[in-house]
């Protein structure tokens, strides 16, 4: 029985055991669509009995598993709705999860919609400095118009990337100017 939902990829089972949904990563609650991802997961599992399959412990010591509620594969549903990014690891449903993630990206739904996935700043076009986070190194870089990678850089607000109005604002937020900028 699910007695609570922490965020879009973590549930609390009876006995107060936390369980992460395996094969995905939802936005933190303070990032773009983080609260909506939590609400979607609550609607799918809160106060319902679930079956957990292929449970493992992740590198941080947290239990993870494939979660089913009746005929619904919850991990797949969260990716299909565009409320999470695919996180690769070896399990029997890996290809199904990857396909749902790819389809959400192609359809530009959820975190892949213009609300969270931006090449231009719709809220304030004058604030056009792009603050990107390298997913493999967690390096925070900013790009100004005219930088080599500026036109291909995408702001992914669901992982905490941001727009800045000034270089000082970017630096104060922990970003460093890209070496690819003049």
How far apart CA 148 and CA 138 sit, in angstroms, is: 20
Q: How far apart are CA 98 and CA 90, in angstroms?
A: 12
| Dmax (CA) of the chain | 57
* CB 27 within 8 Å of CB 159: yes
In residues, how long is the chain? 182
85 in active site: no
Q: CA angle, 160 as apex, 139 and 179 as ends, to 5°?
A: 30
Q: Which of 28, 54, 108, 169 is catalytic?
A: 28
DSSP state of 45: H
Query: Which one of 20, 22, 80, 85 is the catalytic residue?
Result: 20
- Burial (CB < 10 A; 0-12, 13-18, 19+), residue 68, is middle
Dihedral class, residue 110 (left if φ above 0, else alpha if ψ from -120 to 50, else beta): left
Phi-psi region for residue 23, left (φ > 0), alpha (ψ -120 to 50) or beta?
left
Does the annotation count 171 as an active-site position? no
Considering the candidates 18, 62, 120, 180, report the single residue annotated as catalytic: 62
Could you give the residue numbers annotated as active site? 20, 28, 62
């Amino acid at each position: 029985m699910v007695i609570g939902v922490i965020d879009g990829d973590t549930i609390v089972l009876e006995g107060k055991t936390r369980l992460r949904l395996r094969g995905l990563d939802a936005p933190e609650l303070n990032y773009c669509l983080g609260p909506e991802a939590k609400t979607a997961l609550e609607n799918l599992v809160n106060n319902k009995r679930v079956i957990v399959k292929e449970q493992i412990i992740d590198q941080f010591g947290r239990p993870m598993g494939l979660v089913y509620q009746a005929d619904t594969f919850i991990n797949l549903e969260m990716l299909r709705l565009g409320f999470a990014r695919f996180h690769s690891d070896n399990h029997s449903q890996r290809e199904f999860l990857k396909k749902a993630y790819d389809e959400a990206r192609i359809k530009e739904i959820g975190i892949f919609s213009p609300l969270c996935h931006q090449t231009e700043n719709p809220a304030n076009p004058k604030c056009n400095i792009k603050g990107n986070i390298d997913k493999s190194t967690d390096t925070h870089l900013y790009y100004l118009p005219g930088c080599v990678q500026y036109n291909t850089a995408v702001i992914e607000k669901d992982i905490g990337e941001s727009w800045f109005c000034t270089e000082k604002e970017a630096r104060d937020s922990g970003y460093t100017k890209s070496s690819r900028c003049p």
